Amino acid sequence: MPRILLVNSNTTASITERIATAARAGAAPGTEVLAVTAPFGLPLIVTPADWLLAGPPTLAALAEHGAGCDAAVIACFGDPGLEAAKQLFPFPVLGISEAAFHLACLLGRRFGIVSFTAALRPMFQDCLERHGLAARCVGFRMGPPFAGDPGRVAEERRGLLLDLVWQSVKEDGAEVVILAGAPLAGLAATLQAELPVPLVDGVVAGVRLAAALVGLTPERRKPESPLSGYPASLSALYGGG
Amino acid sequence: MPRILLVNSNTTASITERIATAARAGAAPGTEVLAVTAPFGLPLIVTPADWLLAGPPTLAALAEHGAGCDAAVIACFGDPGLEAAKQLFPFPVLGISEAAFHLACLLGRRFGIVSFTAALRPMFQDCLERHGLAARCVGFRMGPPFAGDPGRVAEERRGLLLDLVWQSVKEDGAEVVILAGAPLAGLAATLQAELPVPLVDGVVAGVRLAAALVGLTPERRKPESPLSGYPASLSALYGGG
Amino acid sequence: MPRILLVNSNTTASITERIATAARAGAAPGTEVLAVTAPFGLPLIVTPADWLLAGPPTLAALAEHGAGCDAAVIACFGDPGLEAAKQLFPFPVLGISEAAFHLACLLGRRFGIVSFTAALRPMFQDCLERHGLAARCVGFRMGPPFAGDPGRVAEERRGLLLDLVWQSVKEDGAEVVILAGAPLAGLAATLQAELPVPLVDGVVAGVRLAAALVGLTPERRKPESPLSGYPASLSALYGGG
Amino acid sequence: MPRILLVNSNTTASITERIATAARAGAAPGTEVLAVTAPFGLPLIVTPADWLLAGPPTLAALAEHGAGCDAAVIACFGDPGLEAAKQLFPFPVLGISEAAFHLACLLGRRFGIVSFTAALRPMFQDCLERHGLAARCVGFRMGPPFAGDPGRVAEERRGLLLDLVWQSVKEDGAEVVILAGAPLAGLAATLQAELPVPLVDGVVAGVRLAAALVGLTPERRKPESPLSGYPASLSALYGGG
Amino acid sequence: MPRILLVNSNTTASITERIATAARAGAAPGTEVLAVTAPFGLPLIVTPADWLLAGPPTLAALAEHGAGCDAAVIACFGDPGLEAAKQLFPFPVLGISEAAFHLACLLGRRFGIVSFTAALRPMFQDCLERHGLAARCVGFRMGPPFAGDPGRVAEERRGLLLDLVWQSVKEDGAEVVILAGAPLAGLAATLQAELPVPLVDGVVAGVRLAAALVGLTPERRKPESPLSGYPASLSALYGGG
Amino acid sequence: MPRILLVNSNTTASITERIATAARAGAAPGTEVLAVTAPFGLPLIVTPADWLLAGPPTLAALAEHGAGCDAAVIACFGDPGLEAAKQLFPFPVLGISEAAFHLACLLGRRFGIVSFTAALRPMFQDCLERHGLAARCVGFRMGPPFAGDPGRVAEERRGLLLDLVWQSVKEDGAEVVILAGAPLAGLAATLQAELPVPLVDGVVAGVRLAAALVGLTPERRKPESPLSGYPASLSALYGGG
């Protein structure tokens, strides 16, 4: 029975609950999900600066709760800290955008990306290019600026998001659609019945694919270097006391 | 407990046994693997012409044995018939090269591809480009022409293959290495302990990722068109008697 | 005087007639065109599954009628069986989409692609990427779903297609426009006088370029492998009785 | 019977003779070839600066000899003046590198480029990228610096060039090989019998493909602008006296 | 105090004045700008043929006025003669489109390109691809055909251009916007205060970056070849009398 | 007189001195350079994890010393924190790898990258792709593993590095070569006289280009969000006390 650690890279506990619920609902039977919140940082991750500053607290959460886990998922679209985490921990670590992109590729030839606000598009675009899968993406369909509570945007903009998915399918030719952004976790499951193409929920993709990777990473050597100015859990990853 | 159908696209039963063994050894506990051989076609798939002619028998095998399965894997590097299969069947279908490429991406930033004979390189290269992941690949390392029994090449060329993997890691900078080609199924598990980077076995990648996709594809409408000149199992997929 | 074999990959004889007429009208003077219909398969090729299943009958038609021909053209947009045919036959073989893309590049810096129904776009897009010429294409302009007789769509949608060509030129910056799809064979010649940029008819492109290649391919060695489950004309290509 | 104008973009008449001979030997029966030398400029084209300065004399040669021709070929690898020529003349104009690249694509999936001196590689590479076909090329194999008579390099380096072709086939996986550079015109025909893959001669490719394009370009409007400082034949193209 | 030579590649002196004014206003304090007009050629550069024919007069201007300069800028969008100039002169030479693209990359992750007429788009697109920066560009926003005086288009279309910049920012996601085309020189400075993202003026980019390169190019060997049919200033660059 | 802030992203003061010396030697006359060391983090930046953890201290150094500066340079190859810095500060910020890539493009058509140890290649490769300039790079030439004092590697490996530069020029066709990595700062100036192509020193490129950007960035709005767990200088950037 795999035990998956799910890290919310922002400091907002209500988002952690939302993604934990989505993860448990979408995981294969028997998967155990442990969801934790970043111990410091920012309440919401929107810009490149936010993304950078969310990396160290994500690593700290993995360091503090990773013992006894078989794999981990960084549950913040944009995958802050992902490459560092892959290097530093002895178990597989995936990000939810990485997982969503690859799962979408396995389900169809071309995928679209839908989210609630265009403000996230540059970060998503960078992330897509970073993973090398831009050629598989037919484009983005994003809603207008959103100033409300991210914890409720999935419900408030349900109709708009459904429309955007249909545009992605009909106008852009998407064979699969990703509902992107941690605040939309769980929404795909409620919309799927109304749609002819698979919807991908990044959190579900993350726990599914993380479970598939259990046991496939060899042990790596720990770095040894005096890391200063960060919490002890991070210094310990570098061999520090 | 997922039930995975594994199709060998060539007509050589000894290869089917080899991949079945590798699949069962590498699958997550509880996975059931049903391995079948292509009902017609060619004993070995090497060229683009072979690849095309292996497609219809692969679809026929899926049609004849798919009932009751949760997902399927086409266990022939080059993935003959893959896109047609994704379109025609109500369960997820993956190919082992597709699965190997995506799994490798999840395990590291850049992967190398190693196989026993350079004759396969053009087909592998096309396949890599088709899946859009060429930018993640650091290159190929392939052995010289091989005229022996493909069922024994993994053992006969074990030392050579290990050398090629090391070259991929040290000279090309691979962080993950794919052992490509159905005749190498099962080899990765025996070499892994000697290597510092993950080795990817396409058959294992296939059954792991296929299990992760169970239940994620919506139902599709069957085509209706009079398909002639093929076995009845294929015509039936097109609505024919 | 070159003799060109033109293969319609679907089983609909009226389409064969249409493409034969277009080919003869557009070929260089003195070119002889022999047009044949696929001996089995499907009456219309629309999806990836159709495309795969149209490959073997296309090869069978080439095998049955190729003797005495100087070159051949696969007259089905998407070029089913093309790479296998290039490998198996002793004369040059081109596909009409391949020919259209390359001819368009020779006539201008950037080409647009126009066709009667958006349903064909994914197949055309894949085909374009496969030939490596996506960077030369300014985009697609496709009509709405079409449920009528493909043999008459060129006439029924003449006005719409002319509008789409103009959009490709004015809005997308096309310097050349391809009228894509075998059902549009012959249409370019009737529209050309109304337009300032060259229109490319895939069938004409095919017979023109096939004639240009006559005599340029060296002899290849025939494969020898027991191919089963296909018509005798195909097994014979693999050295079988 | 098509009449093709062949322009040597440098001022060396012995090279013009060489390419004329190769063109006549490789053209389809009945093709008439008129070969002319650039009326001013440089005796050899090697660098980007040479390439630019060879453009206007190439246009002048086309303007002075184009009347009565059905198509033209710029017989200088690197295609100086090509895009301007396509715009300014009422008949199709091809360059020999453009023609070689596209013909090679029609003959095989991946081509190699062989030439006598590495000094030409940057210009060839730029040219390849400009035509958008870099992904179809497996790489360059070029000889060492050459200080002799370019008119005799094909014979003097015959053995070396044959070796480079074999390397391109065996080590790089080329299915077709281009012998690049006007000084190699005619060499492919003498080497072909010793090789299992097609060799492409740019000049032959040029006259073959130019003949295929006859009649496919619509009339264009002449520019009207006072062009100063160039020969009268060029000013006339811009509407000047 | 760097001395920068600014070459207007067309023969219209009023454009030279406009770009000189913009260059002096935007250069770093202490920069000396010498602006000259092409000694022959065309009054306006719009098409690929114009672009080619503007190359030699640009080189002639550089040859005639370069002595005593520390760096030079070719002030014509599309950069005619740029690569030849980089090869032939002992000081750094930049083009204003090259400079605009690179400066834009340094100011933000993705740039948009705005200009007054769509007629220039193909030339700009080619130029962008040539410099390898297409992936950093979010797209073009161009005005309708323009038949007036290019020397006044910046003022006449000020409102339209401001709208196009806003579209590039809001709809395409540009973080930086290039105002492209020599006739728009100086406009960016007057619009900047109304916009939240940096506007790039190619002429300013050119003089800024040219000043940054002073002294960084090693001496090159002059070519020696008898160049005929061009003004003596050009033949002298090739070692001629 | 521009005042440029130069931040060493690691905590090793001897490296800061080295880059300060190189920057002052290579800057345009009159440039003032203020060099500072990261206030916390790691003594050397080699891996993706190091790179991430070097980002926040780089931002902290910029926040603590940026007042009164006209532009800033992050003097660590790989550019940690670069995009966040561009977003958060009111003056232009460049990274030395970004600056080296763009400057190299301005000096020649294709650049090579040389450094002292292959261990840095993956980070450099990622950085190159991130800036979108991979197509302008002819490849890497890197030395073997290095376990000595990075502060002395430029002198200890001078001969090896010179050889690698020559290989890049002769075998790869580089027209410009970047000496990559902060420990090589200052080396280019001492090698330049022995080489026919420009050598690029990232630190010099950084201060030159930073000076060119002074005054070209509009003011941005500060983010307002409660950032926790970081030094006060960083929280202040987010509007915190």
State the DSSP string of D112-174.
Answer: EEEES-GGGHHHHHHHHHHTT-GGGEEEEEE-----S-GGGHHHHTHHHHHHHHHHHHHTT--
C227 shares contact with chain B (CB less than 8 Å): yes
DSSP F3: E
Tokens of A96: 């939810």
> Mind telling me how many Å the CA of F130 is from chain D's nearest CA?
21
Contact assignment for C49 to B231 by CB distance below 8 Å: no
- pLDDT band, very low/low/confident/very high, at E120 (cuts 50, 70, 90): confident
C-alpha distances in Å from residue C97, one per residue of C60, C84, C158, C185, C209: 20, 16, 21, 12, 12
Q: Is domain A98-202 annotated with CATH 3.40.50.12500?
A: yes
Contact assignment for B173 to F126 by CB distance below 8 Å: no
Contact assignment for A216 to B198 by CB distance below 8 Å: yes
B122 shares contact with chain D (CB less than 8 Å): yes
Predicted ipTM of the assembly: 0.96
Q: What is the CATH number of domain A3-95+207-237?
A: 3.40.50.12500
User: Of the candidates E42, E48, E56, which has its C-beta nearest D53's C-beta?
Assistant: E56
Cβ atoms D214, D39 nearer than 8 A = no
Q: How many CA atoms lie within 13 A of B17 on its CB side?
A: 6
Distance CA B229, CA F194 (A): 72
Tokens of E24: 């002096």
Cβ atoms D91, D70 nearer than 8 A = yes
H-helix segments, chain C: 13-26, 48-53, 55-65, 82-88, 96-107, 121-130, 153-156, 158-170, 187-191, 202-213, 232-237
For chain A, the first-to-last Cα distance in angstroms comes to 33
> Mind telling me how many Å the CA of B187 is from chain C's nearest CA?
27
Evaluate if residue C140 carries a pLDDT over 70. yes
Residue position matching structure tokens 């709405």: C144
What dihedral do alpha carbons B67, B70, B73, B79 form, nearest 10°? Answer: 80
pLDDT tens-digit readout, B92-106:
999 999 999 999 999
Give the residue from chain D lying closest to B119, CA to CA. D173
> Mind telling me how many Å the CA of F170 is from chain A's nearest CA?
31
C-alpha distances in Å from residue B53, one per residue of A115, C226, C234: 42, 12, 10
The stretch C98-112 carries a mean pLDDT of: 97
Give me the pLDDT at residue D241, please: 57
> Mind telling me how many Å the CA of D166 is from chain B's nearest CA?
15
Give me the pLDDT at residue A241, please: 56
E109 shares contact with chain A (CB less than 8 Å): yes
Which residues on neighbouring strands pair with residue E140, listed in sequence order?
Answer: E113
What is the largest distance, in Å, between two alpha-carbon atoms of chain B?
Answer: 57
B41 shares contact with chain C (CB less than 8 Å): yes
Give the residue from chain D lying closest to C97, CA to CA. D106
Q: How many CA atoms lie within 13 A of F120 on its CB side?
A: 29
> Mind telling me how many Å the CA of F214 is from chain D's nearest CA?
34
Residue position matching structure tokens 């795969």: C52
> Mind telling me how many Å the CA of E174 is from chain A's nearest CA?
10
Q: Which residues of chain F have pLDDT under 70?
A: 241
Tallying the residues shown for chain F, one arrives at 241
Evaluate if residue C158 carries a pLDDT over 80. yes
Distance CA D73, CA D82 (A): 9
Tokens of A16: 């952690």
Strand duo E199-201 + E176-179: pairing: parallel
Give me the pLDDT at residue A199, please: 97
CB-CB neighbours of C147 under 10 Å: 5
Give the residue from chain D lying closest to E46, CA to CA. D223
Which chains, if any, share at least 3 CB pairs under 8 A with chain C?
Answer: A, B, D, E
User: Of the candidates B48, B121, B129, which has its C-beta nearest D173's C-beta?
Assistant: B121
- pLDDT band, very low/low/confident/very high, at E152 (cuts 50, 70, 90): confident
Name the residue among B184, B119, B117, B118 with its Cα closest to residue B155.
B184
What does residue C58 show for φ and ψ, rounded to 5 degrees?
Answer: -65, -45
C-alpha distances in Å from residue A167, one per residue of A137, A163, A185, C116, F39: 14, 6, 21, 20, 49
Q: Chain B 56-75, CB below 8 Å of chain C: which residues?
A: 56-57, 59
Contact assignment for D226 to E42 by CB distance below 8 Å: yes
Residue position matching structure tokens 């299943």: C53
- pLDDT band, very low/low/confident/very high, at E122 (cuts 50, 70, 90): confident
Contact assignment for D110 to B118 by CB distance below 8 Å: no
The stretch A173-179 carries a mean pLDDT of: 96
Give me the pLDDT at residue A150, please: 82
F107 shares contact with chain B (CB less than 8 Å): no
Helix or strand (DSSP H, E) at E233: helix E232-237
Distance CA C55, CA C41 (A): 9
Which residues on neighbouring strands pair with residue C137, listed in sequence order?
Answer: C111
Contact assignment for A121 to E173 by CB distance below 8 Å: yes
Percent of chain A with pLDDT over 70: 100
- pLDDT band, very low/low/confident/very high, at C146 (cuts 50, 70, 90): confident
Complete DSSP assignment for A148-196: S-GGGHHHHTHHHHHHHHHHHHHTT--SEEEE-SGGGTTHHHHHGGG-S
Which chains, if any, share at least 3 CB pairs under 8 A with chain A?
Answer: B, C, E, F
Which residues on neighbouring strands pair with residue D4, listed in sequence order?
Answer: D33, D71
- Chains A/E: 3 or more C-beta pairs closer than 8 A? yes
Domain definitions of chain C by residue range: 3-96+207-237, 98-202
D13 shares contact with chain E (CB less than 8 Å): no
> Mind telling me how many Å the CA of D93 is from chain B's nearest CA?
33
Distance CA B21, CA B15 (A): 10
User: Of the candidates B53, B83, B234, which has its C-beta nearest C230's C-beta?
Assistant: B53
Give me the pLDDT at residue F232, please: 96
Give me the pLDDT at residue C218, please: 83
Give me the pLDDT at residue F241, please: 57
C-alpha distances in Å from residue E22, one per residue of E39, E115, E188: 21, 17, 10
Helix or strand (DSSP H, E) at F142: strand F137-142
> Mind telling me how many Å the CA of F229 is from chain E's nearest CA?
28
F218-236 in b/e burial notation, b at 16+ Cβ within 10 A?
A: eeeeebebebbbbbebbbe
CA B129 to chain centre: 16
- pLDDT band, very low/low/confident/very high, at E163 (cuts 50, 70, 90): very high
Mean pLDDT of chain E: 94
D126 shares contact with chain F (CB less than 8 Å): yes
Strand duo E32-37 + E71-74: pairing: unpaired
Tokens of A48: 């490149």
Contact assignment for D28 to C192 by CB distance below 8 Å: no
Domain range B3-96+207-237, CATH architecture: 3-Layer(aba) Sandwich (3.40)
F118 shares contact with chain B (CB less than 8 Å): yes
Which residues on neighbouring strands pair with residue F109, listed in sequence order?
Answer: none
Evaluate if residue A221 carries a pLDDT over 80. no
Which region holds residue E200: left if phi is over 0, alpha if psi is between -120 and 50, else beta? Answer: beta
pLDDT tens-digit readout, A203-220:
999 999 999 999 999 877
Residues of A in contact with C125 (CB under 8 A): 173
User: Of the candidates B48, B122, B129, which has its C-beta nearest D173's C-beta?
Assistant: B122
The stretch A26-40 carries a mean pLDDT of: 96
Domains E3-95+207-237 and E98-202 share a fold: yes
Residues of B in contact with F137 (CB under 8 A): none
> Mind telling me how many Å the CA of E96 is from chain A's nearest CA?
27
Name the residue among C191, C162, C190, C176 with its Cα closest to residue C107.
C176
Which residues on neighbouring strands pair with residue F73, listed in sequence order?
Answer: F6, F94
Question: Hey, what long-range contacts does E129-134 have (CB within 8 A, 24 or more apart)?
Answer: E129/C135, E130/D130, E131/E97, E131/E98, E131/E101, E131/E102, E131/F105, E132/F105, E132/F132, E132/F133, E132/F135, E132/F136, E133/E101, E133/E102, E133/E105, E133/F132, E133/F133
What does residue E73 show for φ and ψ, rounded to 5 degrees?
Answer: -130, 130
Q: How many CB pairs under 8 A join A and C?
A: 10
Contact assignment for C173 to E121 by CB distance below 8 Å: yes
A164 burial via Cβ count (<10 Å: 0-12, 13-18, 19+): buried
- pLDDT band, very low/low/confident/very high, at D50 (cuts 50, 70, 90): very high
What does residue D73 show for φ and ψ, rounded to 5 degrees?
Answer: -130, 130
Residues of A in contact with C121 (CB under 8 A): 173
Give me the pLDDT at residue C78, please: 92
A119 shares contact with chain E (CB less than 8 Å): no
Cβ atoms D148, C149 nearer than 8 A = no
Whole-model pTM over 0.90: yes
- Chains D/A: 3 or more C-beta pairs closer than 8 A? no
Evaluate if residue B10 carries a pLDDT over 70. yes
F172-192 in b/e burial notation, b at 16+ Cβ within 10 A?
A: bbbbbbbbbbbbbbbbbeebe
Complete DSSP assignment for B126-156: HHHHHTT-GGGEEEEEE-----S-GGGHHHH
Name the residue among F178, F191, F185 with its Cα closest to residue F207.
F185
Residues of F in contact with B109 (CB under 8 A): 48, 122, 126
Contact assignment for F110 to D121 by CB distance below 8 Å: no
Give me the pLDDT at residue C241, please: 56
pLDDT tens-digit readout, E171-188:
899 999 999 998 899 999
E232 shares contact with chain D (CB less than 8 Å): no
Evaluate if residue C170 carries a pLDDT over 60. yes
> Mind telling me how many Å the CA of A127 is from chain F's nearest CA?
10
Name the residue among C69, C76, C67, C63 with its Cα closest to residue C33.
C69
Distance CA F209, CA F205 (A): 6
User: Of the candidates C40, C51, C228, which has its C-beta nearest B41's C-beta?
Assistant: C228
Tokens of A147: 């100033």
Distance CA A239, CA A68 (A): 20
CA F144 to chain centre: 22
F121 shares contact with chain E (CB less than 8 Å): no
pLDDT tens-digit readout, B157-198:
999 999 999 999 998 999 999 999 989 999 999 999 999 999
Strand duo D176-179 + B137-142: pairing: unpaired
Contact assignment for E55 to D55 by CB distance below 8 Å: yes
pLDDT tens-digit readout, E53-79:
999 999 999 999 999 999 999 999 999
Cβ atoms B219, B90 nearer than 8 A = yes
Give me the pLDDT at residue D222, please: 81
The stretch A116-123 carries a mean pLDDT of: 88
Percent of chain E with pLDDT over 70: 100
- Chains F/C: 3 or more C-beta pairs closer than 8 A? no
- Chains F/D: 3 or more C-beta pairs closer than 8 A? yes
Give me the pLDDT at residue E241, please: 56
Which chains, if any, share at least 3 CB pairs under 8 A with chain D?
Answer: B, C, E, F
Give the residue from chain A lying closest to F126, CA to CA. A130
A136 shares contact with chain C (CB less than 8 Å): no
Evaluate if residue B141 carries a pLDDT over 60. yes
